């Protein structure tokens, strides 16, 4: 896949494995993050379904936190 192929765009729910999106974008691929919008009573069931579908989410919290802290430190150092 060419990095600039207009037919391909990687999209993810904001907050779900953001490090993957960031690395794809850094490699030159088109990436989009989406945010469900609407009343909480309508959006929450969707978010719960997405979390249930993504069985990998269960073990990623610690890794995500380490990645966030490393990025924060990188930005602090400039």
Across the chain, which has 78 residues, the per-10-residue mean pLDDT values are 86 85 90 92 87 67 76 85
Number of domains forming the structure of the chain: 1
Q: Tell me the sheet residues that pair with 21.
A: none
Which residues, 6+ apart, have CB-to-CB distance to 56 below 8 Å? 17
Q: What's the confidence (pLDDT) of residue 31?
A: 93
Q: Say how far residue 4 (Cα) sits from the centre of its chain.
A: 20
- Domain holding 54, by residue range, is 10-77
Residue at 17 is within a domain = yes
Q: What's the confidence (pLDDT) of residue 30?
A: 92
Q: Where are the beta strands (DSSP E) in 1-78?
A: 10-13, 31-34
Q: What's the confidence (pLDDT) of residue 33?
A: 93
Q: What's the confidence (pLDDT) of residue 9?
A: 92
Mean pLDDT, rounded, of the chain: 84
Q: What's the confidence (pLDDT) of residue 56?
A: 61
* CA-based radius of gyration for the chain: 15
Residue at 35 is within a domain = yes
């Amino acid at each position: 896949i060419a990095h600039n192929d207009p037919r391909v765009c990687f999209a993810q729910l904001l907050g779900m494995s953001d490090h993957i999106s960031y690395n794809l974008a850094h490699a030159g691929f088109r990436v989009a993050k989406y945010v469900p919008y609407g009343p909480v009573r309508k959006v929450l069931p969707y978010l719960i379904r997405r979390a249930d579908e993504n069985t990998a989410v269960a073990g990623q919290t610690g890794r995500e936190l380490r990645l966030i802290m490393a990025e924060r430190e990188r930005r602090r150092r400039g």
